[in-house]
């Protein structure tokens, strides 16, 4: 039996997950869970990277000191784009900003003044979002951030930074690097031309390593306090979506796409080569690296973030609901009261009021009750998925027959059925712990315990329950889709 520890950090919380791999079956156990709470300082919104590393060490301590486990590997995955900068001596000189930091506002337009939008896409194949690392880094340059002028400075994305603190290895893992918008998926190297055009120091960019590469072993001090001596640290699929897609239970017998469903919904295809042409640019899709040399051709969608923010707002009013309660109330609420564009709500704060105002501004009845509000969000997500799916059919050159919904959002059976009904396609939900499973299995591939990606996916199918949703009651969905397209087009015309 092999034991791997997956450190999985999300926008709301982090976990240290133990993966037991034996006879092509994987079991996952949560050893330690902790909140991930950003910190607002006078100059902006930051991730509490030091606290996160402290909690990771606590997870290691539970594994080593409490459970007396022997680990065959440790790997860290996180969300994309965010980074810290260390100096030549490894000291953190620029702490990781939160991708929702207001410093990013307007940076797309500022960057396009120096580097044409079309050229950026030609070099990176990435969709344009104001929080991509390229725009964060350019914002740092414009405000004169000292870290960019520090001799020997190196940029480390979130999993890279945490891997460095664990192992002492300063490397950039491929899948997380590919979220930056300064990695070229066609040439498989950094897009140095962009750094030259924007006047950014190319010395920030380090060696790119493949998912599954062994970085080293736990540093002595970390090993001593955790009771884990000589444990390898692997650069797993460092981007959480790349880890989740590695655990997609697809067989390849029918054309398929994936939705990694959580705070964000990442919806796309797995391809052998990137798709970079004018049609992709117009549709604003992205080409990110995946495990085993695959390309994740996808679009970011706001996801269950809207429900999370509504729930947070209601809690501040002392109206506390579990996610299960909110979904139950949504199931009983009237259908198609309003439709909205999920991507119009990317910033935090006052979500119920903003949704209600959006509905009124677009000539719709504003939802007043929590159940109706959540139903409007879930229906609108399903309609957005349908829109993206039609683009995937067109750009990918074949009709997708199966939608694999993975991650924590796959537990929302109401949304799963809405997706099947809205799209007219088969939905297979699960595994819910796709990211942790993918993290473990990519480590296992690096350690030689799993042969390849196909075997990893066979392990997933044998290990986790999956639920199938077929299109059922489709009445009203086509009319709602036409309303959605008309409503969303008005707002999206202002997006890049």
Question: Are residues 56 and 6 in contact, defined by beta-carbon separation less than 8 angstroms?
Answer: no
CA distances from residue 491 to 323, 374, 376, 494 in whole angstroms, order as listed: 28, 21, 17, 6
What is the Cα–Cα distance from 166 to 75, expressed in whole angstroms? 10
Question: Are residues 332 and 317 in contact, defined by beta-carbon separation less than 8 angstroms?
Answer: no
Nearest to 303 by CA among 264, 341, 344: 264
Active site residue 393: no
Nearest to 440 by CA among 7, 1, 113, 19: 19
CA distances from residue 168 to 16, 83, 164, 221 in whole angstroms, order as listed: 20, 17, 5, 11
What is the Cα–Cα distance from 461 to 290, expressed in whole angstroms? 19
Burial class (CB within 10 angstroms; exposed 0-12, middle 13-18, buried 19+) of 214: middle
Q: Give the list of residues 6+ apart from residue 317 with CB closer than 8 angstroms, or none.
A: none
- Cα dihedral value 153, 154, 159, 164, nearest 10: -70
What is the Cα–Cα distance from 265 to 302, expressed in whole angstroms? 6
Locate all alpha helices (DSSP H) within 49-100, ordered by sequence.
49-61
Active-site residue, from 8, 77, 101, 240: 240
Which residue is associated with the tokens 């995937």?
392
Phi-psi sector, 49: left (phi>0), alpha (psi -120 to 50), beta: alpha
Which segments within 48-179 are labelled E, that is strand? 73-77, 83-86, 92-94, 154-157, 172-173
Active site residues: 240
């Amino acid at each position: 039996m092999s034991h791997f520890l997956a450190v999985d950090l999300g926008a709301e919380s982090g976990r240290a997950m133990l993966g037991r791999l034996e006879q092509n079956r994987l079991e996952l156990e949560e050893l330690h869970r902790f909140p991930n709470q950003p910190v607002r300082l006078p100059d902006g919104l930051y991730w509490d990277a030091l606290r996160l590393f402290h909690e990771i060490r606590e997870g290691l301590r539970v594994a080593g000191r409490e459970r007396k486990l022997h680990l065959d590997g440790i790997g860290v995955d996180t969300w994309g784009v965010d980074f810290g900068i260390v100096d030549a001596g490894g000291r953190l000189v620029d702490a990781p900003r939160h991708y929702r930091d207001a410093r990013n506002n307007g940076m797309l337009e500022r960057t396009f003044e120096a580097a044409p939008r079309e050229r950026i896409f030609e070099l990176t194949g990435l969709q344009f979002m104001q929080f991509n690392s390229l725009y964060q880094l350019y914002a740092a340059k414009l405000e004169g951030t000292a870290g960019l002028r520090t001799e020997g400075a190196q940029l480390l994305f979130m999993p890279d930074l945490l891997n460095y603190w664990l192992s002492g290895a300063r490397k950039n893992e491929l899948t997380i690097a590919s979220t930056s918008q300064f990695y070229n998926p066609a040439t498989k190297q950094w897009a140095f031309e962009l750094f030259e055009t924007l006047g950014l120091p190319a010395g920030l960019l380090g060696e790119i390593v493949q998912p599954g590469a062994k970085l080293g072993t736990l540093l002595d001090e970390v090993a001593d306090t955790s009771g884990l001596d000589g444990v390898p640290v692997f650069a797993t699929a460092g981007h959480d979506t790349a880890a989740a897609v590695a655990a997609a239970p697809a067989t390849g017998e029918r054309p398929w796409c994936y939705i990694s469903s959580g705070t964000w919904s990442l919806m796309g295809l797995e391809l052998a080569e990137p798709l970079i042409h004018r049609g992709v640019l117009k549709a604003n899709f992205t080409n990110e690296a995946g495990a085993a040399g695959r390309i994740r051709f996808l679009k970011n969608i706001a996801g269950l973030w809207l429900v999370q923010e509504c729930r947070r707002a209601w809690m501040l009013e002392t109206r506390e609901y579990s996610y299960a309660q909110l979904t139950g109330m949504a199931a009983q609420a009237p259908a198609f009261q309003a439709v909205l564009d999920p991507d119009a709500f990317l910033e935090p704060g006052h979500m119920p009021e903003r949704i209600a105002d959006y509905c009124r501004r677009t000539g719709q009845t504003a939802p007043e009750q929590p159940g109706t509000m959540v139903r409007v969000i879930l229906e609108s997500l399903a309609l957005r998925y349908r829109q993206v799916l039609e683009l995937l059919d067109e750009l990918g050159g074949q009709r997708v027959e199966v939608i694999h919904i993975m991650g924590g959002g796959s537990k929302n059976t109401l949304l799963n059925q809405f997706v099947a009904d809205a799209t007219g396609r088969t939905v297979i939900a699960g595994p819910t712990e796709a990211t942790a499973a993918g993290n473990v299995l990519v480590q296992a591939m690096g350690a030689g315990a799993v042969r390849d990606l196909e075997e990893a996916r066979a392990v997933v199918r044998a290990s986790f329950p999956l639920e199938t949703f077929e299109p059922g009651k489709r009445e009203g969905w086509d009319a709602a889709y036409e309303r959605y397209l008309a409503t969303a087009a008005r707002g999206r015309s202002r997006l890049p």
